[in-house]
């Protein structure tokens, strides 16, 4: 009986232990074939050595729920892997910390950069809040440690991994938002609003600030809002807001439903619109009651 080596394709006879061409142990499981061309030539870096396609990972679609908040992250329809990341954590009764990071695709290992930044920032912010620190100071510390984690991931001889960042600390009567880059925070309520300003050249996606060893000094934008009415704090990567940039359009698209259902619907709409980028959405409800009963629902920036 004649078969083929799963690595190099050379014909091998039944009973042979090793491929004479490449030396592959024929008793061992063969490598996972490329999802694009089927060749068994995927390198350790995740790229197919035959067609160059980057292979998908277990992060292709991720969902998370926590204390009435939720998030969904999806690789979209055009990318071979998900380079976005998100984190949700509780920081005491009634306080939720959410983080969304978008890996810069032109940098190496952007998925690792975004995941490290999201995890480190969420944990650091929650820890500082638990220790009694204010939300703005905790946010700045979270960004500082996230930036350090991404910078530390750089390797000699390659460009630096990089990602963008946005976070929200949502408590009983106020919302503190921090960001670096063009991942966004929105308020969806009776008067919806964009809470962040992109660190990017106007009209383009050319970043003017990011997290990474080549970013220089990272100075986050941090601001706190108060509100007299209920709504949703929504964090997202540009995979969503490219299709729904206006807060009113996002509010109209978001169902008045459970947070996970809202996140899933927004991801689905972005994919239906083209899904040209990774898509990440974190939904954190704010306040209680019927929005129709509110007199002032627009978040007002706090003045110290």
Gap between the Cα atoms of 265 and 250, Å rounded: 11
The predicted-structure confidence for 234-273, as pLDDT tens digits, reads as follows 999 999 999 999 999 999 998 778 999 999 999 999 999 9
CATH number of the domain within which 168 lies: 3.60.40.10
**In the predicted model, what is the mean pLDDT of the chain?**
87
Asked if residue 117 is part of any domain, the answer here is yes
Q: Enter the pTM of the model.
A: 0.80
The answer to whether 139 touches 176, Cβ cutoff 8 Å, is yes
Asked if residue 34 is part of any domain, the answer here is no
DSSP characters for 73-100? Answer: EE-TTT-SS--EEEEEEE-STT-EEEEE
Domain that holds residue 257: 61-301
The answer to whether 275 touches 77, Cβ cutoff 8 Å, is yes
Asked if residue 161 is part of any domain, the answer here is yes
Asked if residue 55 is part of any domain, the answer here is no
Number of domains in the chain: 1
Confidence label for 36 from pLDDT (cuts 50, 70 and 90): low
Percent pLDDT > 70 in the chain is 83
Asked if residue 50 is part of any domain, the answer here is no
Look at residue 32 in the predicted model and tell me its pLDDT: 65
Asked if residue 180 is part of any domain, the answer here is yes
Which tokens is 274 given? 């083209």
Asked if residue 47 is part of any domain, the answer here is no
Residues in the chain: 304
> Which letter, b or e, does each residue of 258-296 get, where b requires 16 or more Cβ atoms within 10 Å of its Cβ?
ebbebbbbbbebbbeeebbbbbbbbbbbbbeeeeeebee
- Is the pLDDT at 183 greater than 50? The verdict is yes
Pairing type for strands 174-180 and 162-170 reads antiparallel
Asked if residue 53 is part of any domain, the answer here is no
Confidence label for 80 from pLDDT (cuts 50, 70 and 90): confident
- The closest alpha carbon to 234, from 190, 288, 193, belongs to 193
């Amino acid at each position: 009986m004649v078969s083929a080596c799963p690595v190099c394709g050379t014909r091998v006879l039944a009973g042979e232990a090793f491929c004479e061409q490449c030396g592959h142990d024929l008793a061992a499981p063969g490598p996972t074939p490329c999802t694009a061309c089927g060749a068994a030539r995927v390198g350790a870096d995740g790229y197919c050595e035959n067609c160059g396609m980057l292979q998908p990972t277990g992060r292709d679609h991720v969902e998370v729920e926590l204390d009435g908040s939720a998030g969904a992250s999806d690789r979209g329809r055009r990318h071979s892997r998900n380079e976005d990341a998100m984190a949700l954590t509780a920081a005491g009764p009634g306080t939720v910390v959410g983080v969304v990071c978008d890996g810069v695709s032109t940098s190496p290992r952007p998925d690792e950069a975004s995941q490290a930044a999201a995890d480190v920032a969420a944990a650091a912010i929650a820890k500082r809040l638990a220790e009694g620190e204010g939300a703005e100071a905790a946010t700045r510390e979270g960004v500082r440690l996230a930036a350090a984690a991404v910078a530390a991931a750089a390797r000699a001889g390659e460009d630096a991994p990089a990602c963008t960042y946005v976070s929200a600390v949502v408590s009983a009567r106020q919302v503190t938002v921090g960001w670096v880059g063009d991942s966004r925070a929105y308020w969806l309520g009776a008067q919806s609003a964009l809470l962040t300003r992109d660190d990017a050249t106007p009209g383009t996606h050319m970043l003017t600030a990011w997290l990474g060893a080549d970013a220089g000094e990272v100075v986050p934008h941090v601001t706190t809002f108060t509100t007299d009415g209920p709504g949703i704090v929504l964090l997202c990567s540009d995979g969503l807001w490219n299709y729904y940039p206006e807060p009113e359009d996002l509010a109209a698209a978001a169902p008045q439903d459970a947070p996970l259902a809202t996140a899933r619907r927004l991801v689905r709409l972005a994919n239906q619109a083209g899904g040209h980028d990774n898509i990440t959405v974190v939904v954190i409800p704010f306040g209680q009651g019927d929005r129709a009963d509110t007199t002032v629902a627009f978040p007002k920036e706090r003045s110290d």
